[in-house]
């Protein structure tokens, strides 16, 4: 069985019909608040891209993309997207989006290598967003300001849901606590990265962990990141390395930390070259996306993804993401969920 948490005495607080209505309400309300707060306009996004152009995201750098041949292109291979970080930056350039403004889209993906569980599914749905910035915005102060805007949209959404469904009580912390992954390691030197996340989220409720991807003082990264979208090697004003991070909150149902968003200031020419060298992937410089970036044809940007099903799961106080979205689950996981009163779609 894949990793599964069964909360003690779990009982859904909403009917299936209320759940479906709640999902619609959350998605409509949150994306409007997100687009207003960050000055984003909605665009249409692809489900797949051509293989070999460097446009698809590699996430941690090891996940395999779902591929298929295209008959009318001589069986050229297409890949189902993992996310749209690089595609969005190309789109900012194509649409000529000015600094201070950006785009967002509904991203749907298949991640065949995902370890299935309460928070992880083969099917991924996100609000993927990207915003053009200036050279002066490439700092930690600006990153924190954007994180706070996103979290404010989450707080407003929670308020609406609690007003609509009184059986749901609010639980989100009022503010985000910021900490660098190296500070977190020093705070809990005997814990694994995931145990550190649980500990800091249990204490603070909502946490943004910065500097994801680079090696820490013990020689290990907090988590892996591909070298060609987030900037995780540029020093910031606190003296640490990295201009990206993960937004996590404490999930009272599962009693663990829950990641809602991964985001960051994107690589510029210097940090891309540095990170490709660190990862031994200099050959990527010959790919379509990377050539355009190195040639100065793409704008500086900040961006990320926000899990749609995860946000709905959190606000509707569900124990499993399969209560929000339709997907495929192992038979033993379905049986265990049914026994525990967790109704998977």
Catalytic-labelled residue, pool 35, 83, 126, 309: 126
pTM of the model: 0.95
Catalytic-labelled residue, pool 57, 58, 158, 268: 57
- Residues paired with 178 in a beta bridge: 208
Q: Is the dihedral of CA 149, 155, 159, 161 positive or negative?
A: positive
- Residues paired with 247 in a beta bridge: 208, 261
Catalytic-labelled residue, pool 130, 246, 268, 323: 246
225 catalytically annotated: no
Dist. CA 275–CA 241, nearest whole Å: 12
Catalytic-labelled residue, pool 35, 83, 89, 111: 111
Mode of pairing for the β-strands spanning 123-132 and 48-50: unpaired
What pLDDT, in 10s, does the model give residues 59-76?
555 678 899 999 999 999
111 catalytically annotated: yes
Q: Please identify every stretch of the chain with a pLDDT value under 50, giving residue numbers as ranges.
A: 1
231 catalytically annotated: no
- In sequence order, the 6+-apart residues with CB closer than 8 A to the CB of 331 are none
What pLDDT, in 10s, does the model give residues 11-22?
999 999 999 999
72 catalytically annotated: no
| DSSP secondary structure, 199-241, as one string | HHHHHHSEEEEE--SSB-TTS-BSS---TTSB--SSB-TTS-B
Catalytic-labelled residue, pool 32, 223, 259, 274: 259
246 catalytically annotated: yes
> 300: which 2 tokens?
């500086």
Residue 83 in 3-state DSSP?
Answer: coil
262 catalytically annotated: yes
Catalytic-labelled residue, pool 262, 275, 301, 308: 262
What pLDDT, in 10s, does the model give residues 232-260?
999 998 899 999 999 999 999 999 999 99
| DSSP secondary structure, 119-134, as one string | S--SEEEEEEEEEE--
Domains and CATH numbers, the chain: 16-48+83-339 (3.30.930.10)
- Per-residue confidence (pLDDT) for residue 3, from 0 to 100: 82
- In sequence order, the 6+-apart residues with CB closer than 8 A to the CB of 8 are none
Query: CB atoms < 10 A from the CB of 237, how many?
Result: 8
- In sequence order, the 6+-apart residues with CB closer than 8 A to the CB of 39 are 100, 101, 102, 131
């Amino acid at each position: 069985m894949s990793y599964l948490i069964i909360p003690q005495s779990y009982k859904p607080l909403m009917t299936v019909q209320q759940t479906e209505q709640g999902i619609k309400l959350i998605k409509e309300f949150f994306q409007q608040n997100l687009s207003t707060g960050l000055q984003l306009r909605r665009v249409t996004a692809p489900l797949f891209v051509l293989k070999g152009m460097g446009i698809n995201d590699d996430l941690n750098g090891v996940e395999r993309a779902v591929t298929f041949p295209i008959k009318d292109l001589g069986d050229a291979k297409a890949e189902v997207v993992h996310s749209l970080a690089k595609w969005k930056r190309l789109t900012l350039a194509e649409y000529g989006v000015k600094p201070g403004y950006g785009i967002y889209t509904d991203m749907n993906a298949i991640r065949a290598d995902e370890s299935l569980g309460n928070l992880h599914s083969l099917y991924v749905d996100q609000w993927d967003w990207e915003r053009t910035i200036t050279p002066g915005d490439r700092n930690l102060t600006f990153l924190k300001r954007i994180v706070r805007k996103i979290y404010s949209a989450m707080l407003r959404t929670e308020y609406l849901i609690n007003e609509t469904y009184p059986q749901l009580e609010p639980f989100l912390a009022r503010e985000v606590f910021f900490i660098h992954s190296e500070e977190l390691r020093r705070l809990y030197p005997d814990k694994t990265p995931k145990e550190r996340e649980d500990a800091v989220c249990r204490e603070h409720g909502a946490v943004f962990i910065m500097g994801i991807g680079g090696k820490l003082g013990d020689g290990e990264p907090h988590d892996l990141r591909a070298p060609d979208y987030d900037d995780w090697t540029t020093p910031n004003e606190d003296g640490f390395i990295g201009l990206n991070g993960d937004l996590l909150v404490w999930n009272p149902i599962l009693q663990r930390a829950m990641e809602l968003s991964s985001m960051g200031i994107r690589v510029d020419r210097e940090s891309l070259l540095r990170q490709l060298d660190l990862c031994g992937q200099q050959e990527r410089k010959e790919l379509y996306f990377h050539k355009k970036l190195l040639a100065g044809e793409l704008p500086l940007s900040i961006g990320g993804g926000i899990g749609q099903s995860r946000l709905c799961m959190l606000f509707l106080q569900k124990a499993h993401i399969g209560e929000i979205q339709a997907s495929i689950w192992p038979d033993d996981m379905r049986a265990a969920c049914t026994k525990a009163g967790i109704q998977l779609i």
